[in-house]
Amino acid sequence: METEFELIKNVKENKDESSLKLLIEKHSGIYVEMVNRYIPNTFEGIRKEDILDEKNYRIYDAIINYDETKNTKFSTYLGNITKWKCLNIYNKNLKFPHQSFENIKVKQLNEIACDPGIKVLEENESIKKIFKAVNKSKDERVKKIFQLRYSDDKKLVPWKKIAKELDLSIQGCINIHNNYLKEIKKYVQ
């Protein structure tokens, strides 16, 4: 009988499909337990069944990325990465539940820019008004930060990437962004 490390090595070297089946069979319980623990049964926008259906792929991916030199058991490694995957899915859904991406951008800008009860934009107004105000700025960094941050149609561009592009610190970019949002109310109201 081969050890777990030998089975993992066989999968990594594409030697044996039966090794993969044995590992999946042995560690499916850990994966299912972590998903059940960290994803609620009823949570809008997340289908626990979809995450459970990814079980074989997720275990395979964990096998490929597992580093036995770190002195961690594979079951511990699989449990941890499954837990973090579930928490990331859950937290992302809490932050942005079922909205169009444009409304997510508008909501984020409103939350950052305003005092409670005052909105920069209504949810159904276009992000174009914000960019019109941004283009009136004399500070070229403001224009570049907003163009980079909100240029992707599917997600917000990370601050780290923006900071690297502008050769500024991450916090510096965030400060410029947030300070200008306070000014932007003059142009969009």
> DSSP label at 121?
S
Backbone torsion region of residue 115, taken as left when φ is above 0, otherwise alpha when ψ lies between -120 and 50, otherwise beta: beta
Burial of 14 (0-12, 13-18, 19+ CB in 10 A): exposed
What lies within 8 Å, CB to CB, of 164 at 6+ separation is none
Structure confidence at residue 99 as a pLDDT band (50, 70, 90) = very low
Can you tell me the mean pLDDT for 61-90?
89
Per-residue pLDDT tens for 157-167?
888 888 898 89
* pLDDT for 31: 94
Q: Which residues contact 124 (CB under 8 A, 6 or more apart)?
A: 103
Segment 45-57, tens digit of pLDDT = 667 788 888 899 9
Give the range among 3-7, 101-105, 176-180 with minimum mean pLDDT: 101-105
Distances in Å between the Cα of 34 and the Cα atoms of 4, 19, 22, 85 are 21, 23, 20, 10
Whether the predicted pLDDT of 118 surpasses 80: no
Structure confidence by residue, pLDDT tens digits, 103-117 = 555 655 655 544 444
Length in residues, the chain: 189
Q: Report the predicted TM-score, pTM, of the whole model to 2 decimal places.
A: 0.50
Give me the percent of the chain exceeding a pLDDT of 90.
17
